[in-house]
Homo-oligomer: A and B are copies of this chain.
Amino acid sequence: MPESARTRTTYHVRMEQRITLVTLGVSDLGRAKRFYEALGWSGQEVEETVFFQAGGIGIVLWHRDKLARDCGLEPSPPVPFGGIALAHNVRSDAEVDDLLRAVERAGGTITKPAARNAIGFYSSAFLDPDGHAWEIACNPSFTLAEDGSVTLPDFGGSGVRGARG
């Protein structure tokens, strides 16, 4: 086989560096929908799901056990920490405080009160009614565009502190 043909058959797929949907498994769809609506979100209920357009991705609410089976997995009950945290960065420390108050009014559980962390930025965390962890933070080193999209800084490989948030 000529070299060119061999090269063609060595086809390496590259997974694009992105997420299309984040689906949150919930035990009570109505309760979960009301929680995010109370925070000001507006979605579309379609059969047993709720779809929220979230910038260039979708956030979906769906029954936890059905989502597990759809992934070919055995359902399992929630644990204190599910292994993933979603962060929502805002533009000022005051917005962090305001948003946490809104979360409490909506029925979320604050698990980390807002405070300046060791790295120097202001952050907090809460759980939604199904125990999904969200961090709310203002980290000025992460540039937020007008539309809410984030551009990560060039950390320069120098071990710059202040990365997470």
The interface of chain A, by Cβ under 8 A from chain B, is 11-25, 39-42, 44-47, 49, 51-60, 62, 64, 67-68, 70-90, 95, 98-99, 101-103, 111-112, 125, 127, 130-133, 135, 137, 142, 144-145, 147-152, 154-155, 157, 159-161, 163-165
Contact = CB atoms under 8 A, between A and B. Distances in A.
Given A25-B85, A58-B150, A70-B135, 14 more contacts: A11-B98, A17-B53, A19-B54, A20-B89, A23-B85, A23-B87, A46-B155, A46-B163, A51-B152, A51-B163, A72-B125, A79-B79, A82-B84, A83-B130
Contacts of A78: 83
Nearest to A44: B155
